[in-house]
Amino acid sequence: MTITAAADGSALGNPGPAGWAWYVDDNTWAAGGWKHATNNQGELKAVLELLRATAHVDDDLHILCDSQYVINSVTKWMPGWKAKGWRKRDGKPVLNLELLRELDAALAGRRYRFEWVRGHIGHELNEAADDRARGAAEAFARGALPDTGPGYPGGAPAVTRDAEASATPDTLF
């Protein structure tokens, strides 16, 4: 079986209040965020939390993503970054290193493929993930906690609301 899910991030002000979400259907999704982060951090976290939530199943994962940064990070750039001690071609450190390391670990042994989808054109799954990620960012902008969703059946919950609300991407890991 293949799980098809969209993953998306949102940041108001970029950086600013930020959210992430993954979405399979109305009964299977999760969201969260931070008081201050970037859109790329939200995009990475959405994929990471999808992998964590589905780690207990042995299904292929088809990840719909509107972020070329995430797709290229995982499918093209990560092997080279790792070989160079997590440095880019120009020798500078890779941005979002902790999230990328967590993603690298979560991807180990998984069967997955990414599909790029254009954002904001009405793709049903991508729009649902985007709505939830933006909702999480807006909740943090208001000083509230977001709706974290039902998660994946039998899966690990996302980072707890209390831990995530007081954290930044750099302190989550």
Please list the active-site residues: 8-9, 43, 66, 120, 130
Task: Please identify which residue in the block is written with the tokens 């302190």.
Answer: 171
The token duo for 52 is 């964590």
Apex 132 CA angle, 126 and 134, nearest 5? 95
- Tell me the β-bridge partners of 29: 23, 151
Cβ count within 10 A of residue 56:
11
Q: By the 8 A CB rule, do 22 and 77 touch?
A: no
Instruction: Name the residue type at position 6.
Output: A
Q: From CA 145, how far away is CA 127, in angstroms rounded?
A: 21
